[in-house]
Structures are given as structure tokens and as C-alpha cells.
């Protein structure tokens, strides 16, 4: 029941206290990750498919990303994803103290599988084909970890859609060319992609398995 002193529910505090605070928080996080240069605007436009004006509003804190744009940031931005996880584990989150009923659990699993499929990933763990190590003759080919990272999943989707190379990874993820080449080399060793054609005019393709 509502308290006798009033009919208002307790107000949210912090970043969830209102749209203005939310917008300022997202702006700070995006500037921390991308900066506020022209390049940052273009990168956020590519990540979210938002207009230049909308992205500028995000970076200036005029308003925060809503609905689909925010979900796209959750998928493409490690900083925004960490922010969401922080909210989930924060003191304002209601803990799951009781048992989860069977129907809710089934629906949750279906939603998870749909989300993985929408992101271009397999919900059944198709990462097992990625090797833990690659040949040591070339240090640039040594991957950081055994499983595919976000850049590699993104690059696989780009290769399936058309021509793409290491420079696209550099432009999209703001990493070094060495890191981009390492990501691609690990995909080649794993047998997920192959290079066909000449060195100058060839292209990467998804390997048929």
C-alpha cells in the first residue's frame, strides 16, 4: 500500500533520476570512449545508424539515446555495456530472491537465443572452433584469447555482407592495424575465413563448413 503521507512512489536517484541526468551520464561515457572529435561522431553514426545531429546531441548531453539506439550502443560499446551491467548489479536492482517459474525461464531462454541470433552469433557456442593458439612463426598472429572477440564477430558479418579488410576494423573499433591483422589472422587459422584472389585485388570470404 502507498504511505499515508502521499501517493508518490519513491523517486529514482542517480543516473536514473531523470532524463537530464541520464543524458549527461551517457554523454560523459561516450566522450570517455570516443572523445568529441569529428571522428567520434562518425564512429557513433556507424555503430548506431543515427543521424549526425542525433549523435551530436548525445555527446553534448542535450538528450540521451532512446530505445533501439541505446540497445545498439549496448551491443557495440564496451563502455555502455559495462554501464548497464553496473546498473543491473547496483543497489537499486531488485534481487531475485524467489524461484523463477518454468514459463518465465523458457521465455528468458528464447529471448536470449533471439538476441544472440540478431547479433550474428550462435546461441549454442559456435566459438569452439577458434584455436587457443596459432603458429608462433609470426608474433602478429597470436590472438589475445581463445574465443572470438566482438571485433571478430563484427568482421565476420562484414565479410559475409561484402568486401572488408583490416582497415575497416581500425576505423570501426579505433584499434591499431597490428591488432586488426591479429584478429583476422586468428579467424583464418580457425578456418572461418579465407583470402581469395590476388594480394591487391583479392578479398576475404567466409569459409564453407
Output the CA–CA distances (angstroms, integers) from residue 126 to 110, 123, 164, 172, 192, in the order listed: 17, 8, 22, 24, 11
What local confidence, expressed as pLDDT, does residue 138 receive?
Answer: 41
Task: Quick: pLDDT tens for 148-190.
Answer: 888 888 898 888 888 788 899 998 888 888 989 998 998 988 8
% pLDDT > 70, the chain: 67
Task: Quick: pLDDT tens for 44-77.
Answer: 999 899 999 999 999 999 999 988 899 889 888 8
Q: Which domains does the chain have, with CATH numbers?
A: 14-88 (1.10.260), 128-206 (1.10.10.10)
Task: Give the Cα separation of 134 and 138 in Å (integer).
Answer: 9
Amino acid at each position: 500500500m502507498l504511505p499515508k503521507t502521499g501517493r508518490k512512489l519513491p523517486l529514482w536517484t542517480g543516473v536514473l533520476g531523470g532524463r537530464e541526468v541520464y543524458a549527461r551520464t551517457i554523454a560523459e561515457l561516450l566522450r570517455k570512449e570516443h572523445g568529441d572529435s569529428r571522428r567520434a561522431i562518425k564512429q557513433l553514426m556507424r555503430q548506431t545508424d543515427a543521424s549526425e545531429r542525433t549523435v551530436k546531441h548525445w555527446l553534448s548531453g542535450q538528450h540521451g539515446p532512446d530505445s533501439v539506439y541505446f540497445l545498439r550502443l549496448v551491443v557495440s560499446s564496451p563502455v555502455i555495456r559495462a554501464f548497464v551491467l553496473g546498473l543491473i548489479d547496483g543497489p537499486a536492482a531488485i534481487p531475485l530472491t524467489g524461484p523463477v517459474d518454468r514459463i518465465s525461464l523458457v521465455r528468458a531462454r528464447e529471448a536470449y537465443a533471439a538476441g544472440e541470433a540478431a547479433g550474428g552469433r550462435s546461441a549454442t557456442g559456435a566459438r569452439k572452433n577458434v584455436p587457443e593458439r596459432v603458429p608462433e612463426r609470426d608474433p602478429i598472429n597470436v590472438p589475445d584469447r581463445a574465443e572470438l572477440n566482438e571485433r571478430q564477430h563484427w568482421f565476420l558479418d562484414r565479410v559475409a555482407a561484402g568486401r572488408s579488410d583490416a582497415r575497416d576494423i581500425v576505423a570501426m573499433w579505433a584499434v591499431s592495424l597490428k591488432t586488426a591483422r591479429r584478429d583476422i589472422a586468428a579467424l583464418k587459422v580457425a578456418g572461418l575465413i579465407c583470402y581469395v584472389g590476388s594480394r591487391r585485388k583479392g578479398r576475404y570470404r567466409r569459409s564453407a563448413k
